[in-house]
Each structure stands twice: as C-alpha cells, then as structure tokens.
Amino acid sequence: MKQEAQYSETSMDNKPWYRQFWPWFLIALPGSVVIASLATVYIAFHGADALVNDNYYRDGLAINQLLGQDQRAVELGLAADIRLDKESGELFVILSGTEVGARTLLLQLLHPTDEKRDRDLVMSLMAPNHYRVDLDAVLQHRYYIRVLPEPEHEWRLSGEMNFTDTDQVTLRAQ
C-alpha cells in the first residue's frame, strides 16, 4: 500500500506543467485583469459622453446670439402652447402674442442625456400662428424644447416637457 501511495505522488510530479492546476490558476489571475481592462477601454470609447463640448470659446461667442433670440421673443411677447396628440401622432404648436408670419417653425427636442434621441422637427403652418408636424415615433421621457422660426432664427422659446407624464406644456418668453 505504501508503494501505491508513493507511486501516485510521483506520477503527479511527473505530469507536464500544463496539466497541473497551479500554473493555470496563477496565469488566470493577471489574465482576468487584462480582460477586465480591455472591457473598460471598450466601454470608455464606445460609451463616450457626447454632451461634453470641448470648444468652449466658440460656445461662449454663441451665447450672445442666443440671449438676443430670447430678448427678441420677450419683445414680441411670445408664448407657445405645445400639445401632443398621442392617438394621431401629431404635435401642435399654437403661438400667442405678436403674429409671427413664419411659414415653418423648427421644434428642437433635446434629450438631457442621450444625444441619439435628439430630434429636429420642421412644423408646417396650418393657420396664423398654428403649426403642426407628424411624428414618426412615440415620444417618451423628458426633453428640453426649443421653438425657432425657420430659416432666420430671430427669436426662440425654450422650456422642457416630460412626454411620459403630460401631453401639453406652455413655453413663455423669459
């Protein structure tokens, strides 16, 4: 019996290294770290935050133009009632204040965190200061909203709306 036990111990020592447990265990530890770091690099590059802008100077210059658009909306006394008809898939904007006379409006829907969900909708004139657009998909979640006349962009109205909770919002010039 002693001879059998001694034989099994020597046979284990005679196995090549790639058939033993401990070398593979020791290789697996740093190997798993390499795999995890590669996964982290992949996530960092493919999930980069597109909302961060690195051209601060150009954006700083554009702020004056945006403030001018807001001021012009205040001067005109504009407000916009935005209503979503979920059954027909239409979005309506009714402007109040001075008659604008723009044949089309640009309605920008800006998602707070996902740039892929942003939409620019061109709204058609139905009646004086009444505009509409057909939606290609159901709107959900919260969006920042901008209403601008096309193509001159001389004024703008801004606000936000959560399409999950409500179907209507009023934007006022501020």
**Structure confidence by residue, pLDDT tens digits, 61-110:** 556 566 777 777 777 778 888 888 888 888 888 888 777 777 888 888 88
Q: Let me know whether 110 and 161 are in one domain.
A: yes
Asked whether residue 87 is assigned to any structural domain, the reply reads yes
CA 19 – CA 21 distance, rounded (Å): 7
CA 116 – CA 110 distance, rounded (Å): 9
Assign residue 65 the CATH number of its domain: 2.60.40
Question: How many structural domains comprise the chain?
Answer: 2
Amino acid at 140: Q
Give the whole-number percent of the chain exceeding pLDDT 90.
Answer: 13
Domain with 7, as residue range(s), is: 2-46
For 30, the token pair is: 């740093």
**CB neighbour list of residue 50: distance below 8 Å, 6 or more residues apart:** 115
19 by DSSP, 3-state: which?
A: helix
Asked whether residue 76 is assigned to any structural domain, the reply reads yes
Q: What is the pTM of this model?
A: 0.61
